[in-house]
A and B are shown apart, each in its own frame.
Chain A
Amino acid sequence: MRTISLSETSVREVNRQLHDQTAELAEAQWRITDPEGRHALACGLDQTLEVEIDGHAGYYCAGMNQKARVTINGMAGVGVAENMMSGQVRVKGNASQSAGATAHGGLLVVEGDASARCGISMKGVDIVVGGSVGHLSAFMGQAGRLVVCGDAGEALGDSIYEARLYVRGSVKSLGADCVEKAMRDEHLAELRDLLDAAGIDARAEDFRRYGSARELYNFKVDNADEY
Chain B
Amino acid sequence: MPNEAPDPTADVRERPAADDVRRIYLQKDGPMLVEGPVEVQLEDGGVATSDRFRVALCTCRRSRRYPWCDTSHRRRRRDR
- Physical interaction between A and B: no
List the interface of chain B (C-beta within 8 A of A). Answer: none
Chain A residues engaging chain B, CB cutoff 8 angstroms: none
